[in-house]
Structure 1
């Protein structure tokens, strides 16, 4: 299983003081050397963390592993993506007032718009994934849109307040993963995953990639980023070897 390390919150710390450190590009290099399989970043419309300059520096610096650019499906972001050419674009919903992404993209309600949007990105040689809730209707709409993959939103699982609710959400993720795979989509997952809840999701056979940011960056304060990435990678590997 691949681990995509999201570096957004390195930039969040930097932007808190509007200074030059910590540098998210340096963090990306450390994550790469620690065993990350991909660097993920979200260029938001409000530029609350990652900045345009970071994106272009990442493209010039990270060569051994892919870049995954999370972005809202807007013309501004499409123009930047076409110029930067990350290996993958993941389209996500975005609200200016939210603290973090609150749910999956509603592909059903915007599938005709997204079909053209995705087609243009793919014509430039960029793989495209959609960040969606683990729902069959959203998966069917994703097939219609023509994407390569879906990333299942694991936030409801991660935030479940009872064990019963957590298991219900995990079951929902498992069923959606099987269904998406049957539809010939690659299956990824992410959002809210931590060192204590990641293994059940990592053990889902159909999921081939997890994208994790906040927990890794938060714990790097205590362990260092290199060790924080390595620990997460070990947990994921352990979960997969039990299959």
Structure 2
């Protein structure tokens, strides 16, 4: 029996729009409630060190109000770990973060930073957070994630999505195989496997065929699509695309 494929909706860029003008609108917490009503299984929000979109008050309100799991994306810094341990979200996903980047550019270097990640992972787990590591779909980081004791990994899908968008069929095929092989290895290592970054309706439908994936986290595309069709319609279409892909898996 195929496992159900969950959809986590990232509300960061509702806050990006708010912050571009100042004030309190549009409210990312309202967007989170709408996303859940439209069929999202959880909400993701990334509190960056420079607070370029989500703010501390947003995270506190999300943690207090949501009726579905909150996935707190964060750098593995003392400040963020302390805040997550206080708010106790359902999940804490550790991601790489560079101040100058527009968006997350790749997976966390869990091999090179293994020693530095041990304490944050242990502290978050002790606070009741389900720790996830955002990594590349390669054997070394997947095996290291398992050794570090994180129960979940999220595979970076950006390289594959960029190849698809560029019309580079050979590279897209290679990157899809890399993701599928990574997901299979992760299952063998006892990990739950999520995916995210750059997914749209078509790529989500295609990747959903890989039945090892349990969850997709999608944000920028859905918020952009919502400008034209509304958030609930965008999420409903994404949910349908994922379900079609999983059924064909």
With normalisation by structure 1, the TM-score equals 0.98
Which residues of 2 match residues 1-243 of structure 1 at below 5 A? 1-63=5-67, 65-160=68-163, 161=166, 162-243=168-249
Shift of 1:117: 1.4
The answer on whether the counterparts of 1:111 and 1:144 sit within 8 Å (CA) in structure 2 is no
Within 2, Cα distance between the matches of 1:186 and 1:156? 21
Shift of 1:61: 1.3
Query: Which SS does the other structure have where 1:159 is aligned?
Result: helix
Structure 1 stretches of 4+ with a deviation exceeding 4 A read none
CA deviation string 1:202-242 (max 9, x = no partner): 11110010000011000000111111111100100111111
Shift of 1:143: 1.1
Within 2, Cα distance between the matches of 1:124 and 1:84? 9
Query: Which SS does the other structure have where 1:50 is aligned?
Result: coil
The answer on whether the counterparts of 1:115 and 1:144 sit within 8 Å (CA) in structure 2 is no
CA deviation string 1:31-57 (max 9, x = no partner): 000000010000000000000000111
Within 1, Cα distance between the matches of 2:152 and 2:203? 23
The answer on whether the counterparts of 2:85 and 2:123 sit within 8 Å (CA) in structure 1 is no
Shift of 1:140: 1.1
Shift of 1:196: 2.5
With normalisation by structure 2, the TM-score equals 0.96
Shift of 1:59: 1.2
Shift of 1:144: 1.4
The answer on whether the counterparts of 2:16 and 2:54 sit within 8 Å (CA) in structure 1 is yes
- Superposed CA RMSD: 0.7
Within 2, Cα distance between the matches of 1:104 and 1:45? 17
Question: Gaps spanning 5+ residues in structure 1: where?
Answer: none
CA deviation string 1:74-119 (max 9, x = no partner): 0000011011110000000000000000000000001112112101
